[in-house]
């Protein structure tokens, strides 16, 4: 969605506020489904749940491509969020169930490599197809590729049921799982940390592409360079960050990457017209450091949840992250406004907020105990 922002703005004749609503529709729906997942995620085979949710994600993604109006697009994106929002929680729950704590940073790094590959390959290809043949093609491509992955998941992902036997005897209903999370200060701090870190990050990300076109002077097709180079670099850096976090400490690794990420945040949100090469340096730094800091942080957050109710916690985490993303996008849309010449104003204010929330998040992360 986000790289295609300039196209949506032009085709549907929408401003920053409506664009924020389109982005937030997915995240708020994901938050809602994350809350619903609390009542069932720990009581089913992880494999069966993964396949069901992924099938729903594929179907609703096709629905996005078929949308003919901004209203239809909002509905389709909301439905996609209902399924896609839980998938992240489910995958991380599987990691927590099958990967020992000492190797969890490496595992999260490998997962993040998947996101990086999607950014470096899928996003540029989708953006190219969307620019040349229409934005709908990008979503049909996603659905087609996801169908191939669904088949591979069906053939390779094993059943994960170890959590079910324990839950059957100790957690008679989901409310006990919710209580276990709600009364654990460590897990509540982890949730607050995730909300803050994604708030600062996601208030910036949805507006990078429109800002680059309107204020910096990028052609829409040139946006592919940002994702191709930045995403390509993180394919290599994400596994390395995971190994470093496991070896030298996750908190120290997060601090170093968080401080480095502030440089591109400030640079990107204050940019004016400048050479593409300079822009790509800072955008690539943003990809590497902003994505990298989530790896040690994610490993620490997983370690706050007891295996008996990890699925419940990860569902709450997923809902919290989605709420943070939705509020961030909505607030950024209120802060940023469009001038008569089409340029965006006040993006630097969003950058300041991103810097402040990043610094505060570290203070909270220091208090979190990575114990399971």
pLDDT digits over 14-66, tens only?
A: 887 788 888 888 888 888 887 777 777 667 788 888 899 999 999 999 999 99
Is the pLDDT confidence value at 70 over 70?
yes
Model confidence pLDDT, tens digit, residues 309-354: 777 787 788 788 878 888 888 889 889 988 988 899 999 999 999 9
Q: What is the structure's pLDDT at 170?
A: 46
Q: What is the structure's pLDDT at 58?
A: 96
Q: Print the domain residue range for 224.
A: 2-365
- What is the average pLDDT across 258-285? 95
Is the pLDDT confidence value at 206 over 90?
no
Could you tell me whether strands 344-345 and 337-338 are parallel, antiparallel, or unpaired per DSSP bridges? antiparallel
Average pLDDT of the chain is 85
pTM of the model: 0.75
| Nearest one of 281, 230, 323 to 29, comparing CA atoms | 323
Residue 161: φ, ψ to 5°:
-125, 5
Q: What is the structure's pLDDT at 51?
A: 92
Q: How far apart are CA 316 and CA 19, in angstroms?
A: 26
Model confidence pLDDT, tens digit, residues 273-290: 999 999 999 999 999 999
Identify the residue whose tokens are 């400048």: 274
Q: Is 343 inside a domain boundary?
A: yes
Q: How far apart are CA 118 and CA 98, in angstroms?
A: 24
Model confidence pLDDT, tens digit, residues 131-151: 778 888 889 988 998 999 999
Q: Is 200 inside a domain boundary?
A: yes
Q: Residue 173's pLDDT band (boundaries 50, 70, 90)?
A: low
Comparing 235 with 89, which gets the higher pLDDT?
Answer: 235
Q: Is 370 inside a domain boundary?
A: no
Tokens of 252: 């120290």
Q: How many domains is the chain built from?
A: 1
- What is the average pLDDT across 241-261? 94
Is the pLDDT confidence value at 169 over 50?
no
Q: How far apart are CA 185 and CA 253, in angstroms?
A: 23
Q: What is the structure's pLDDT at 200?
A: 87
Q: Is 372 inside a domain boundary?
A: no
One DSSP character per residue, 139-189 reads HHHHHHHHHHHHHHHHHHPPP--HHHHHHHHH-SSHHHHHHHHHT-HHHHH
Model confidence pLDDT, tens digit, residues 183-192: 889 999 999 9
Q: How far apart are CA 204 and CA 202, in angstroms?
A: 5
CATH code of the domain containing 70: 1.20.1250.20
Tokens of 97: 């169930």
Q: Is 59 inside a domain boundary?
A: yes
Is the pLDDT confidence value at 305 over 60?
yes
Flag the least confident range among 106-110, 163-167, 242-246. 163-167
Q: Note the residue count of the chain.
A: 372
Which residues are registered as beta bridge partners of 338?
Answer: 344
Q: Is 371 inside a domain boundary?
A: no
């Amino acid at each position: 969605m986000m790289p295609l922002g300039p196209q949506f703005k032009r085709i549907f004749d929408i401003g920053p506020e409506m664009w924020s609503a389109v982005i937030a529709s997915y995240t708020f729906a994901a938050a809602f489904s994350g809350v619903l997942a609390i009542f069932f995620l720990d009581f089913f085979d992880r494999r069966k749940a993964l396949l069901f949710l992924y099938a729903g994600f594929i179907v609703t993604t096709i629905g996005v491509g078929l949308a003919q109006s901004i209203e239809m697009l909002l509905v389709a994106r909301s439905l996609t969020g209902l399924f896609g929002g839980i998938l992240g929680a489910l995958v991380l729950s599987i990691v927590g169930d099958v990967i020992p704590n000492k190797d969890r940073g490496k595992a999260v790094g490998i997962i993040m490599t998947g996101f990086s590959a999607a950014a470096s390959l899928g996003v540029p290809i989708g953006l190219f197809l969307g620019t040349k043949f229409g934005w709908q093609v990008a979503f049909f491509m996603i659905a087609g590729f996801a169908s191939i992955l669904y088949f591979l998941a069906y053939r390779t992902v094993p059943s994960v049921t170890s959590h079910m036997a324990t839950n059957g005897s100790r957690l008679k209903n989901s409310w006990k799982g919710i209580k276990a999370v709600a009364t654990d200060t460590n897990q509540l701090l982890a949730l607050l940390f995730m909300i803050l870190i994604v708030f600062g990050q996601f208030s910036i990300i949805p507006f990078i592409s429109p800002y680059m076109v309107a204020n910096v002077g990028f052609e829409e097709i040139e946006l592919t360079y940002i994702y191709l180079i930045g995403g390509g670099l993180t394919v290599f850096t994400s596994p390395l960050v995971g190994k470093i976090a496991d070896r030298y400490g996750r908190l120290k690794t997060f601090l170093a990457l968080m401080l480095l990420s502030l440089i591109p945040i400030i640079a990107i949100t204050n940019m004016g017209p400048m050479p593409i090469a300079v822009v790509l340096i800072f955008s690539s730094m943003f990809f590497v450091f902003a994505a990298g800091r989530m790896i040690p942080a994610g490993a620490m957050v997983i370690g706050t949840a007891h295996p008996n109710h990890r699925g419940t916690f990860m569902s709450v985490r997923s809902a919290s992250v989605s709420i943070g993303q939705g509020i961030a996008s909505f607030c950024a849309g209120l802060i940023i406004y469009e001038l008569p010449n089409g340029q965006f104003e006040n993006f630097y204010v969003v950058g300041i907020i991103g810097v402040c929330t990043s610094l505060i998040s570290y203070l909270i992360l220091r208090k979190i105990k990575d114990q399971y």
